[in-house]
Structure formats: structure tokens, C-alpha cells
Amino acid sequence: MLSNPSQILLRNIDYVAQDDVLLINHEADDLAKQLLTQAKSVTTLALDFNHYLTLKKALAPQLTSHFGHQLPASDNPQQFDTVIIYFPKAKALIGYLIELAAQHLTPGGQLMIVGENKGGIKSLPKLMPAYFSTPVKRDNARHCLLFTSQLISEAPSVNINNWVSQYPLATPQGEITICNAVGTFSEKKLDAGTELLLQHLPDLNGQVLDFGCGTGVISAALLKQNPSLKMSCIDINAMALLSCELTLAANDMRANIYPSDGFAQITQHFNAIVSNPPFHDGLNATTDIATAFVKDSAAHLIPQGIWQIVANRHLPYADTIALHFDTFDVPAQNNKYKLYACHG
């Protein structure tokens, strides 16, 4: 089933006839494979690891898939006739994606940008840099817009440092430096949930997993408290993984940082799993994910391992935790968050 933006692209497939196409920030469908009925080749760059895995199932000749914040490094960046961008949910990210697209377009090459009206794409003409022509609206259907533009002059080289903000952050373990890549949610103060978690941590040792690491706040705080920890940091978002990598480097810390769709890519067992899990927007949308998270956590803890998370009070964790752990405790809570602690 194609998403609405993908359906708009498919009905405008003539725009990519016989083109080498790069698809950036695509969604969890096989639009890339369907474009091959007209395009000469399609290369994809997913910023969401789940979307990457979904497309990987749609194997096809002339289809190459990648995950990350950029294509694999090369002395001669691959060039394309057309680059297609799905307008990101984090509007601030579009500037980076446009600059990235320009690196891979042939002179005069075509840029197509598609997105849902409610996602901010209506403001695109005001956001386009001068090295692209004024965007032209090509389609308006299924609550989406499709724009095209051409690369009309040489674009600046992408310098990722221009898209990363850096700032000090006070934590219960001491001050750390945070590096926040554009498109990654972060505040310049410790959010209340993470603060509650860090204020009530038991002594940790050995292998520790930071599930949904984001910008690396929790991992950096834990390593500041105990530099001997062997941290693993996983997330599904490419910009979050980049942020975490840069945050730990800025604090002269090291960890094993990699993408995982839930626990699917995690093979080891841990002395502790610590998380402010990213499941906090609406009960219906998050119950299944939260249930899987608790079940898989229990399976990846060593005997007597520590599992400690913070979650919005309204999320139904207690019953699920009781199913998969012998006992659990709520060592702290406030009017918005609860802290859950268990042993494997």
C-alpha cells in the first residue's frame, strides 16, 4: 500500500522517464521499485531504518537501497538526473535534504519534492536556496503537493557541522555537551522524564543498552558517572544516531552505536537496559509497540539484570511489565511521568 505522497509520485511517473533517480527520506512502501517501470535506475536513502528494511524486501534489478544521513562516502559522489525528496516531518530538516540533493544532481538536474499539506510543504517556495529555480507546483491531490525545480547553479558542499547545534546540558551526573543534528528533537534543558530517570538510577556495570538513544543524553550521563560502562546505543532515526555519535565524541566517550528496528538487530544480552522510550503519543498508536518493547527487553537481560525506564503516566506499562517480569517497582513518579524498575 503506497502512502499518499507516494501515490502522487506514481501518477507523475513520466517526470522520471529514463532517469537515474535518487529517492531521499522515502516512506515504508515500495514506490522506489514501482518507479523502475519508467526510470533507468533508482537509488534510495532512508532516514528511518524501518523504511529502509521495508524497501529492502522489494528486491529489483537497478534498485539500490541505503540507510543513513547521507549516501556512502566517495571521492566522486554519484550523480543523478532526478532527486526526489519526501518533505520531512521535522520541517527544519528540509534545508539539509535540499543541500544534500544538490550534491547528487547533474547540472540542470530535476528536484522533485512531495509532501502532505499539513506537514508544511506549502511553505516550500520560501525555503528554496538560490541555486535552485523557483519551485513549480505540479500536482495537488490526496491532501499532498508535488513541486519540481531545477539545479541552476553550483551548490555549496555539504558540511554536516553547519547542521549541528552544540550546547552544554546539566544532568544529575554533571554537565555534558550535547550535539543536536537538525531534525532530531532536543531541548537545551533536560526534559522532565529523562531527569526523573537519571535522578533515580541504581549503580550500573557491564553491558548497558540505551534504547532509543536520541541525541545521546542518557548514554553520556551514564558514562560520565561510570566511564567503565560498555554502552550500546540504538535508534531508528539516522539523524538521531548521528547526534548520539557526535555527542559522545564531544565528551570524549565511546559506545557501540547502530540502528535497530525495535530489538530486531540486537543480538547480545545486557546487564542493564535504560530508556526514555519514544512511545508517548496516544494510547492506540503506542500500545503494541510498548508491549513488544517490554517483552523483548526481558528476553535481552541477563539474570538479575536491571531494566529501568521512564514513561508517560497514561501509557499502560504496568500490566505488560507484570506479564514479562517477576516483580517491578515504581521508585519515583510525578504528575506526568512514572519510573519503572525491574530485574531480569
**Residues 103 and 170 both lie in one domain:** no
Which residues lie across from 282 on neighbouring strands? none
* Contacts with 244 (C-beta within 8 Å, 6 or more apart), sequence order: 213, 214, 215, 216, 219, 233, 235, 255, 257
**Residues 134 and 176 both lie in one domain:** no
| Collapsed DSSP state (helix, strand, coil) of residue 95 | helix
From first to last of its 344 residues, what are the pLDDT tens digits of the chain?
999 999 999 999 999 999 999 999 999 999 999 999 999 999 999 999 999 999 999 889 999 999 999 999 887 889 999 999 999 999 999 999 999 999 999 999 999 999 999 999 999 999 999 999 999 999 999 999 999 999 999 999 999 999 999 999 999 999 999 999 999 987 788 999 999 999 998 899 999 999 999 999 999 999 999 999 999 999 999 999 999 999 999 999 999 999 999 999 999 999 999 999 876 443 344 567 778 899 999 999 999 999 999 998 888 788 899 999 988 999 999 989 999 999 87
**Residues 268 and 289 both lie in one domain:** yes
Which residues lie across from 181 on neighbouring strands? 164
Tell me the backbone φ, ψ of residue 4, rounded to 5 degrees: -60, -45
**Residues 96 and 131 both lie in one domain:** yes
**Residues 153 and 191 both lie in one domain:** no
pLDDT score for 265: 96
pLDDT score for 288: 76
Domain boundary among 157, 181, 209: 157
Contact predicate 257/181, CB 8 Å: no
**Residues 192 and 231 both lie in one domain:** yes
Instruction: List the helix and strand counts (H, then E) for the chain.
Output: 10, 16
Cα separations (Å) of 81 from 20, 141, 165, 278?
5, 25, 32, 37
Domain boundary among 130, 157, 184: 157
Domain boundary among 102, 137, 157: 157
pLDDT score for 189: 84
Contact predicate 220/244, CB 8 Å: no
**Residues 71 and 188 both lie in one domain:** no
Per DSSP, helices labelled H in the chain are 4-11, 31-35, 49-56, 94-103, 124-127, 192-199, 217-225, 238-250, 283-299, 317-324
User: Residue 218 belongs to what domain range?
Assistant: 161-343
The full length of the chain comes to 344
**Residues 174 and 116 both lie in one domain:** no
What predicted TM-score, i.e. pTM, was given to this entire model? 0.95
Closest CA to 234 of 206, 264, 257: 257
Starting at the edge strand found earlier in the chain, the sheet holding 80-86 runs 63-67, 41-46, 20-24, 80-86, 105-116, 144-150, 136-141
Q: For position 112, which CATH number holds? A: 3.40.50.150
Which residues lie across from 272 on neighbouring strands? 208, 306
Closest CA to 47 of 24, 63, 28, 29: 24
Count how many domains the chain has: 2
What percent of the chain is helix, strand and coil (3-state, nearest 5)?
A: 30, 35, 35
Q: Which cell goes with 292?
A: 513488544
**Residues 142 and 35 both lie in one domain:** yes
Name the one residue in this structure whose C-alpha cell is 525495535: 262
